[in-house]
């Protein structure tokens, strides 16, 4: 098993079209080298659709560490190639919501993220799966597919999370609830739902929505916002944003290694912000699938939760 110290050699791949990708690429290269990381390759990807192929190519050389800069979609499409390898996955959060970085406790500024890469610790974490497709943080059904899949790129790039909120408010005006069917431990349940989150981490859209989801728990969490009125979904988001106790009354949750999900009618599924699948599907957890660099735990936490 690899030791816990950070690798000193890495490949850097940055999605140049992510919100901060092009602007931060040169700075990231310089700061990583100044911090003692030998970059055997540094690649700014101008066409995001080619990113998985770039990752597959560099992974054939089995680098000690792969650093990916971009948003959640960039990280998610890169992670498949790291499953089952000893290459350490490191994150530069250069996107809009940066939910995966938030779930891991990685700082969102460039210097803080590089401090984790060079001074954090290696941990094995779980990945989520939608019918065999690995993802980092959270898949979703409902309004999220209309936001992530249709938001104008200029609005997303110029306003960031505020742009998401403006687009979400516009889309919610014509949104309809759907019938959700969850099959868990042999039990079939039906309900009216407004949104479903299939979570490996607590953050979705940059907001902590699924408190119980943890990428080291060995379980996937399916959380449904129940109801029929779009105003109920808005209240659920607001209550979660403000961390009100009432947020718990707006959702139901299911936990396990594998959970079947259906909707009537069939709906698209957003996977870490990219619309890539459709219902029905089976959500699974891939336990301890990849090595990542994460912040070292505080002494108090390490004492309470020893390895």
What are 98's two structure tokens?
């940066």
The domains located in the chain, with CATH, are: 9-126+289-304 (3.40.50.10330), 134-287 (2.60.200.40)
Query: What's the pLDDT tens digit per position in 135-151?
Result: 999 999 987 676 655 55
Q: Give the pLDDT of the chain (307 residues) as one tens digit per residue.
A: 455 778 999 999 999 887 677 888 999 999 999 999 999 999 999 988 899 999 999 999 999 999 999 999 999 999 999 999 999 999 999 988 899 999 999 999 999 999 999 999 999 999 999 998 999 999 999 876 766 555 555 655 555 555 555 556 555 556 788 999 999 999 999 999 999 999 999 999 888 999 999 999 999 999 999 999 888 887 888 888 888 999 999 999 999 999 999 999 999 999 998 888 999 999 999 999 999 999 998 444 444 454 4
Which stretch of DSSP H or E encloses residue 275? strand 274-278
Q: How far apart are CA 126 and CA 34, in angstroms?
A: 31
Q: Where are the alpha helices (DSSP H) in 136-229?
A: 143-148, 153-159, 161-172
DSSP single-letter state for residue 261? E
């Amino acid at each position: 098993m690899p030791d816990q110290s950070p690798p000193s050699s890495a490949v850097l791949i940055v999605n140049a079209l992510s919100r901060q990708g092009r602007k931060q690429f040169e700075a990231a290269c310089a700061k990583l080298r100044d911090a003692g990381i030998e970059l055997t390759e540094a690649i700014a990807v101008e066409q995001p659709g080619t990113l998985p192929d770039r990752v597959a190519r560099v992974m054939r050389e089995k680098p000690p560490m792969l650093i990916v800069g971009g948003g959640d979609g960039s990280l998610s499409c890169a992670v498949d190639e790291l499953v089952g390898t000893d290459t350490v996955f490191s994150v530069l959060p250069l996107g809009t919501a940066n939910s995966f970085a938030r779930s891991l406790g990685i700082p969102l500024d460039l210097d803080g993220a590089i401090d984790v890469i060079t001074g954090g610790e290696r941990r094995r974490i779980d990945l989520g799966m939608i019918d065999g497709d690995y993802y980092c943080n959270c898949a979703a059904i409902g309004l999220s597919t209309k936001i992530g899949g249709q938001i104008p790129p200029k609005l997303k790039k110029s306003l960031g999370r505020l742009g998401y909120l403006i687009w979400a408010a516009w889309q919610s005006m014509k949104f309809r609830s759907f019938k959700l069917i969850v099959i868990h431990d042999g039990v079939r349940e039906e309900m009216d739902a407004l949104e479903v989150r299939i979570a490996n981490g607590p953050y979705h859209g940059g907001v902590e929505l699924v408190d119980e989801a943890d990428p080291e728990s060995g379980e996937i969490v399916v959380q449904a916002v129940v109801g029929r009125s779009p105003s109920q979904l808005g209240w659920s988001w607001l209550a979660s944003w403000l961390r009100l106790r009432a947020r718990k009354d707006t959702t139901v949750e299911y936990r396990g290694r594998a959970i079947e999900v259906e909707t009537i009618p069939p709906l698209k599924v957003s996977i870490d912000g990219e619309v890539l699948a459709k219902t029905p599907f089976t959500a699974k957890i891939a336990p301890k699938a990849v090595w990542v660099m994460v912040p070292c735990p505080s002494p108090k936490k390490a004492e309470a939760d020893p390895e």
